[in-house]
Chain A
């Protein structure tokens, strides 16, 4: 297995799928000549040409709207929204069209669309460019929402997303592109809608995803020195949410901490906690605890920004509190 970065893993997935299926094409702001804001599509334009790697005007509504149209007529578009914060201007297309056409028209059509976008703070991009509003998109039935935390998962899940006939909202994290990890060689996919135990432990279950997986694994490493063995369950997909590994883990450890980068109110942690209470109440030995972003628009100032985002020490502290 090769140890590659998240950027390389995503890039490979796109490249391989475009080689495999001529219907797959990319469109978005600066994806072509420039090679992508996060350099994911560098070299694609030269290799696949302007028809399959399309630079678009600065209009997210136009990008998503056109991509939906292409999907409806049989292509498999991968639309890139530069940051998740800009997806708000395409919200009507995402939730009222992409998520609903298959349902509203009696299954006559499918929308094999992937929207790749970038979520998360920590890069001093200010309050409007640093949000983690993943839960908003996971709210809508009809949309699949994927948010990987490792290079291998990113590659396998993106390839699965491109081959999926439903619209998939694929969330990458702004600070994970340099993260390295083992990625299997060759062509492989990872099924959408499967959570995964990324680290085994007996004392506390941490449920997390995306960037916070890395943070949680670091916290788990630190807690090992205190003799605390944390099990880390990575959701990987927010919708459909696979609670089975979470519940199995909680039934084993009897304690749960949910770590998410977004705000706590109405968030992923709220959903996961509620399901734990609904389905594993009698196994809990302590209230479920949530670690999340401080509920303010994220500050630009580096110190303040880091204070507002969940850190390893916050996770360590939360685990200690439920023990």
Chain B
């Protein structure tokens, strides 16, 4: 008797997943527990194990397809078993074929964005979500979108347990709306110029909005619309830090060298510990000043970005910060982040220095109160005591939530940060 493998539900709020890749072909034998396919969800790429042993009779969806949870994706049967004999499977297969439309003409397909559907529907129709006041309050405090939560109360009402289930399954960690690249020490290689044919107009391209892009889009709009940002830029003398880094790296093997960003994470964390006003969030009617200092660091991915979190960075030595950042960035780029890699940041850093960017402004990653945009460390002319000389400088711009803090306070934080960046021995003590 043939058995059906369905799209698994890998998170409480998971409605569908993209079948990235089949690891078994039709006709191949498979044992229970063996990896059958890779599935991409909101958060990560996950491997799907076969729930049965036998032979892969049919793969019901093509790689790259978005499949609703619970939909049959493969049929596994005994070797030599004829599919026609197993009526239920056949019915299921038909059902799938009805559900998953055959590939349509490219134009139509490309025009359909693949954003999470409930959200799109809700947003377009402005349909009222049924939720208890308590569920609404909890969702509001955790910045959850009620439209994405399945209600289990009377008449489908979203009640506390539904919101709490989502929180348990998916804490606040979603990719941040900031823009940046990992804290690599080496400057990024500039893109190469390609010599395109002369006199030819390129075609318009229409790209589907993938999950990550969709989430970034939503979170950025939320942040920019709801959080009153203000910005403070300050220049830091980085000569001592660059010298110290050089001296430390001379001691370390190639794969353990410290990046400038590692130092900045440590400096920011120490400054925040002393300055909890910015290690904070507006939650409901309260400002929460976090006891932990968890620094989110934006990591650029091929199709977007993610924030990985260096927990208790104020308490960690530089080498540990560096090692964790290397590991988490690597996992993020492979799409294999662990929940703990992306959860619980209390303040974020975005560094575009390696692209030669002098200074830029980042968007806050809610509910955090601030994000620090780091520019390149540059040699610049400086005037000191009336003498023109060469200085090593870096600009950083703080974006802060004006509901939580004010200009002078934020400026004092930037001032305190100088005490660490410009006296880098304090970072290794």
Residues in A lying within 8 Å of B, measured CB to CB: 254, 281-286
Contact = CB atoms under 8 A, between A and B. Distances in A.
> Interface majority SS on A: helix, strand, loop or mixed?
loop
Interface of B: 132-137, 153-154, 159-160
4 nearest CB pairs, A to B:
A285-B134, A282-B137, A285-B132, A285-B160
Nearest to B141: A282
Nearest to A284: B133
Nearest to B132: A285
25 contacts: A254-B132, A254-B134, A254-B160, A281-B133, A282-B133, A282-B134, A282-B136, A282-B137, A283-B133, A283-B134, A283-B137, A284-B132, A284-B133, A284-B134, A285-B132, A285-B133, A285-B134, A285-B135, A285-B153, A285-B159, A285-B160, A286-B132, A286-B153, A286-B154, A286-B159
Contacts of A283: 133-134, 137
Contacts, number: 25
A283 B159 CA distance: 11
B161 to A, nearest CB: 8
> Interface majority SS on B: helix, strand, loop or mixed?
helix
A281 B135 CA distance: 11
A286 B151 CA distance: 13
B339 to A, nearest CB: 27
Contacts of B134: 254, 282-285
Contacts of B132: 254, 284-286
Contacts of B160: 254, 285
Nearest to B136: A282
Nearest to B163: A285
A284 B134 CA distance: 5
Nearest to B135: A285
Contacts of B153: 285-286
Contacts of B137: 282-283
Nearest to B162: A285
Contacts of A284: 132-134
B130 to A, nearest CB: 11
Nearest to A282: B137
The winner among A281, A282, A285 for most chain B CB atoms within 10 A is A285
Contacts of A285: 132-135, 153, 159-160
A53 B154 CA distance: 58
A176 B159 CA distance: 39
Contacts of A282: 133-134, 136-137
A254 B136 CA distance: 13
Contacts of A254: 132, 134, 160
Nearest to A254: B134
A283 B134 CA distance: 5
The winner among B134, B153, B154 for most chain A CB atoms within 10 A is B134
The winner among B132, B136, B154, B159 for most chain A CB atoms within 10 A is B132
A67 to B, nearest CB: 47
Given A284-B134, A286-B132, 11 more contacts: A254-B134, A282-B136, A282-B137, A283-B133, A283-B137, A284-B132, A284-B133, A285-B132, A285-B135, A285-B160, A286-B154
A51 to B, nearest CB: 59
